[in-house]
Structure formats: C-alpha cells, structure tokens
C-alpha cells in the first residue's frame, strides 16, 4: 500500500525537477538574447559534456578519489580516437562497450 507521504515526496521531486527543465524555454525561447549570452550558451554543451564525462573516467568511489588506472579511462582512449576518425555515434557506442569489456579483463 502506497503511503500519502510517498506520493507527496514523488510529486515534490517531480516539481523541483520539472521547473529547471522548463523555465529556460518559457523565459528564453521567444525573445532575442544578447550576443554574449548566445555565445555563452553555445559553449555550455561542450563544457557540460566534458564536466559529466571526465570525472566518470578518472575518479572513483564515494567520497571520490583520483583513479587513473581503471577500465573507464583505458577504454575511453580507443573510443575517443574511433569517434574522432569515424564521427559515428552508433559505432562509437559499440566500440566503447567492447573496449570496456576487454579492459575489464585486465583489472
């Protein structure tokens, strides 16, 4: 049986997750933005992808510690080169998985 507290919690979690996702479309998408903001926003995807990815590759544990010798980083190198050469998303995903699987055999 689901408790009222759980339903309340999930609704609260949903709201605080939805608002940051939605607000930029409401406030930014129907107006002309200043050039510096457009330039800044153009740099956000490259920064955010790198900020999500790099800690996952070279840190581990909780609290996080630096860890260079691990499958995540080892597999990333050939995967990165493959992505650079082929620019194929599907191919990179498959190659990455195979490399990670193989790297796992080493550690």
Partner 1 sequence: MSKLKSIVFEGVAAAWPICLGYIPLGFAFGVLAQKAGLGPVEIFLMSLLVFAGSSQFIAVSMLDCGAALMSIILTTFTVNLRHLLMSSALAVYFKKSSRKKLCLFSYGVTDESFAVNYSKLKTGKWDLGRSLVLNYTANMTWIVSTVAGGFGGQFIPAGAFGIDYALPAMFICLLVFQLNGLKYLFVALLAGIFAVSLSLVLTGNMYVVIASMLAATCGTVLHRFFEKLSSKRTNDE
* Interacting positions 35-64 with partner 1 (CB under 8 A): 36, 38-59, 63-64
Contact 99, 83 (CB under 8 A): no
Cβ neighbours of 58 (radius 10 Å): 16
The binder of partner 1 chosen from 34, 70, 75, 106 (CB under 8 A): 75
In the complex, the smallest distance separating the C-beta of residue 61 from partner 1, rounded to whole angstroms, is 11
**Residues 6 or more apart from 83 whose CB is under 8 A from it?**
92
DSSP, res 32:
P
The binder of partner 1 chosen from 34, 69, 90, 106 (CB under 8 A): 90
In the complex, the smallest distance separating the C-beta of residue 11 from partner 1, rounded to whole angstroms, is 6
């Amino acid at each position: 049986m689901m408790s009222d507290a759980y339903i309340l919690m999930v609704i609260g979690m949903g709201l605080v997750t939805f608002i940051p996702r939605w607000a930029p479309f409401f406030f930014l998408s129907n107006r002309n933005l200043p050039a510096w903001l457009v330039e800044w926003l153009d740099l956000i995807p490259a920064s955010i992808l790198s900020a999500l990815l790099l800690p996952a590759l070279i840190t581990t544990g909780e609290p996080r510690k630096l860890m260079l010798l691990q499958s995540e980083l080892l597999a990333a190198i050939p995967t990165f080169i493959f992505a650079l050469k082929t620019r194929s998303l599907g191919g990179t995903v498959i190659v990455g998985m195979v490399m990670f699987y193989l790297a796992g055999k080493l550690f």
